[in-house]
Amino acid sequence: MSFASAEQPSLLVVVGPTASGKTELAVRLAEERGGEIVSADSVQVYRRFDVGSGKPSAAERARAPHHLIDIREPEEPLDAAGWAALAARAIDDIRARGREPIVCGGTFLWVKALVFGLAEAPAADPAIRARHRAEAEGAGRAALHARLAAVDPESARRLAPNDLVRVSRALEVHELTGVPLSRWQAEHGFRAPRYAARFVGVRRERDELDHRIEARVRAMLAAGWIDEVRSLVAAGYGDSRAMGAVGYKQVHAAVGAGTPIDDDALAVSIVRATRIFARRQRTWLREQPVEWVAAASPPLTRSR
């Protein structure tokens, strides 16, 4: 189950599609193994994005310590490389105290950045990024995406036109180096493992996962997700990166429409988007040697 040699530190990583039960599995493993959880979720890192991000409950945090949750204000961006550096420090600290680190989350690019490292592409250029934002505001995000397609078609196929942050980054790399970001990534290929990762996840049939997604979405709406987004917008965070996440994007659009919100229609739109997102997660997971366990399975054996 290891990607790496015996000399590399082992790392337990809980993965799975959204709503599959990652947090509960990670908490149970932490209790069984004397562990602490390092969150790999690109929305849970932000303060005030609470209801719709599915942050661990107070009871779950009482059962097992959690790291890298609520560590950034909504206007403070955090990318995969930055998170991976923070996660590595948290892992070292947990181990130094004689505990076992357990990474848990569904932001798989971040997980890959931690386990395998990232391509050594050039550092960000604030001036280029500001120019891209202005271009997107003036001509539309689709125009920026079309420009990317002309110089890096592989990255353009992978990125949605509305993903301004990543489209801008891919263009930025090409502008700075003349080399497409896809080539940087292909040459690196995530082939330098930093940890001997053991991926585990909760086994769910697709119909069961679909039902869990719908129940989760409706529970979040009932818990005040719409009011949370209204408060975030009122505080000036409507354009923050986290507001573009699945679910938050749909609630934000409904809040900004200026018409009464149809809760049922909103739930349907979020469920649809979340199921599409879960399918993309499953595609990534098919490429990994995941050890799938039942929801109430016995403790994992300590293979390392």
List the structure tokens of 149.
């397609």
Q: pLDDT digits over 164-207, tens only?
A: 888 999 999 999 999 898 888 776 555 567 899 999 999 999 99
Asked if residue 247 lies in contact with residue 220, where contact means CB atoms within 8 angstroms, the answer is: yes
Q: Please report which confidence band the pLDDT of residue 158 belongs to, taking 50, 70 and 90 as the band edges.
A: confident
pLDDT of residue 2: 34
Helix axis angle for 108-116 and 80-96, nearest 10°, is 60
Does the pLDDT of residue 255 top 70, yes or no?
Answer: yes
Rounded to whole angstroms, how far apart are CA atoms 158 and 178?
A: 19
Asked if residue 15 lies in contact with residue 274, where contact means CB atoms within 8 angstroms, the answer is: no
pLDDT of residue 5: 38
The residue among 241 and 299 whose pLDDT is bigger is 241
List the structure tokens of 224.
């005040």
Q: pLDDT digits over 15-42, tens only?
A: 999 999 999 999 999 999 999 999 999 9
Q: pLDDT digits over 69-113, tens only?
A: 999 999 998 888 889 999 999 999 999 999 999 999 999 989 988
Does the pLDDT of residue 303 top 80, yes or no?
Answer: no
pLDDT of residue 297: 60
The residue among 217 and 126 whose pLDDT is bigger is 217
Burial state string for 21-60 with b = 16 or more CB within 10 A and e = fewer than 16: bbbbbbbbbbeebebbbbbbbbbbbbebbbbbbbbbeeeb
Rounded to whole angstroms, how far apart are CA atoms 37 and 130?
A: 36
Query: What domains are defined for the chain?
Result: 10-120+192-206+288-293 (3.40.50.300), 126-187 (1.10.20.140), 209-280 (1.10.287.890)
Q: pLDDT digits over 261-296, tens only?
A: 999 999 999 999 999 999 989 988 888 899 999 876
- Type of residue found at 122: P
Closest CA to 15 of 247, 278, 269: 278
List the structure tokens of 33.
């193994």
Does the pLDDT of residue 1 top 50, yes or no?
Answer: no
